[in-house]
Structure 1
Amino acid sequence: MTYGKFAYLYDELMKDVPYDKWVELVKDHVSKYNTNGKKLLDLACGTGELSIKFAEEGFEVTGVDLSEDMLMVAQGKAADKAMNVQFYQQNMAELEGLGRFDVIGIFCDSLNYLQSEQEVFDTFSRVHEHLDDNGLFIFDVHSIHKIMQIFMNQTFALNDEEISYIWHSYQGEHPNSVEHDLSFFVLDQGSGQYERYDELHFQRTFPIDVYVNWLKETGFEVLEVTADFEAVSPQTHSERIFFICRKV
């Protein structure tokens, strides 16, 4: 899935996302599990917000995304901050040719945009190929509770002066999947008129034990499964599930 116009609205809409929590989570686990190197691959990096934050923390960062528009935004931001981050356009389920890394992350529930079991399995396999021995793989996904109880059949809206949206979520084609039908209304500063842009986004998640089995089958040791940025096991109402894995 590509983002189109949404790429240029993304940072404004996501300005309250707690990116620093992802950075701290990665740093804590790199320290905890004695990962020696600092080479980090940020898969589904989007507009590069996290990639740049990791670079500012001393990581040698490579960012990958499927969306050319997202990567254009990311490259511009890295240039503005004079950060040496390399960006590549690839599908994470077909990742190839980027060398080996000490840490690979798929953050901000980006894995949920893959539409099939095979794509998730293939992504895990490609991540394994691109990790150094004992390297860490860290990712997060929406819980089934969040997909089915928080998103499903809900409407969300924002009404600001320069950008507004209406966001409808409804049952997707597969179990534990949701489709997000988004309409954006963006003020054109020149004309004073609002332009409308429409996007359809798909997300799908799986039970924790399914992810764990796929990880083991693709050569990972699952070190921790936690929830909601806390060092606690997932509960019935947890919304975001984190997997901390090591290549074996």
Structure 2
Amino acid sequence: MSSSKQNYGANPLAKRETDHYKNEYIESFVSKWDELIDWDARANSEGDFFLRTLKERNAHKVLDVATGTGFHSIRLIEQGFEVTSADGSPSMLARAFANGRKRDHILRTVQADWRWLNRDIHGKYDAVICLGNSFTHLFEERDRRKSLAEFYAALRHDGVLIIDQRNYDMILDEGFRSKHIYYYAGENVRAEPEHVDDGLARFVYEFPDGAKFNLNMFPLRKEYMRKLLYEVGFQKVTTYGDFQETHHQDQPDFYIHVAEKYYGTEYEGEARP
């Protein structure tokens, strides 16, 4: 695998398999990822949403399965959470570990494929977080179901999964438009789709120095994602749009699903779809 150039072959739009993400996060792209995110801007935009959501559910031990360069792992550690940081990309994990060291933290990092997560992750967690639109790297439904089942199995009996995604419904039905203030908040960085169909959203990321990279992702629809979460066993799924209840936000950039695993006899939750 080259560390300087992505390789999509002769037909980039045909690259629709889950494992290709390993070839997308090359070192030269990973090295620019923090420029794309802008940690301070992202922290300001999301506020205390994730911290509050976890604390409300008495979560302390958290598994971050899409660590990336470490933004959420480090933020949670600094708020007193016990965090294990997992990712499928060794380049991302190395960058996350280095970012932790800069802030005087030693991250517990694990390279893991979500489809076999519990082979590499041991013990049970109060919460699993899968953020940064990462779940859309899974192109096959069997991979999505298997990964969600692995997240479910990694949780304690009353645990919670927090998982986010772009608003692909809007992109598929109306075309792309973005407020560009919540997730990819870096200055003068372009992040938008250059091709979209029902099975592929191919995004381009362009940086001020002219560097250009792509990611091929599966365009998950919101209700399909909620349905999968219920079908793998989660008892309650609450969906937020850009950190607000969905009915307050017509066309958010991102959806955040808070899926709860609960077996209490007095449970009262949303009706399943």
TM-score class, shorter-chain normalisation, is 0.7 to 0.9
1:189 counterpart residue number: none
Aligned positions of 1:36-185 closer than 5 A: 37-96=59-118, 97-98=120-121, 99-148=123-172, 149-150=175-176, 169-172=194-197, 175=198, 177-182=200-205
Structure 1: gaps spanning 5 or more residues: 153-157, 187-195
Distance in 1 between residues matched to 2:187 and 2:239, nearest whole Å: 37
Aligned positions of 1:23-34 closer than 5 A: 24-32=48-56, 34=57
Distance in 2 between residues matched to 1:225 and 1:244, nearest whole Å: 6
Matching residue within 230, 236, 239 for 1:216: 230
**8 A contact 2:68–2:93 mirrored in 1:** yes
1:8 counterpart residue number: 31
Residue by residue, what CA displacement relative to the aligned partner does 1:196-241 show, whole Å, maximum 9, x if unpaired? 7553311223332222221122110224112111134375523211
Distance in 2 between residues matched to 1:234 and 1:144, nearest whole Å: 18
Residue by residue, what CA displacement relative to the aligned partner does 1:91-121 show, whole Å, maximum 9, x if unpaired? 2232123121111111121112222222221
Distance in 2 between residues matched to 1:242 and 1:165, nearest whole Å: 22
State the one-letter code of the partner of 1:132: R
Instruction: Indicate the SS of the match to 2:48.
Output: helix
Normalising by structure 1, we get a TM-score of 0.80
Normalising by structure 2, we get a TM-score of 0.73
Instruction: Indicate the SS of the match to 2:216.
Output: strand
Distance in 1 between residues matched to 2:49 and 2:257, nearest whole Å: 11
Distance in 1 between residues matched to 2:29 and 2:207, nearest whole Å: 9
1:238 aligns with 2:252: yes
Q: Provide the aligned length of Structure 1 versus Structure 2.
A: 227
Report the alpha carbon displacement of residue 78 of structure 1 after superposing the two structures with TM: 1.2
Residue by residue, what CA displacement relative to the aligned partner does 1:36-65 show, whole Å, maximum 9, x if unpaired? x41111111101121111100001111111
Fraction of identical pairs, as percent? 20
Higher helix share: 2
- Report the CA distance shift for 1:165/1:232 in structure 2 as closer, same or farther (over 3 A): closer
- Report the CA distance shift for 1:165/1:219 in structure 2 as closer, same or farther (over 3 A): closer
Higher strand share: 1
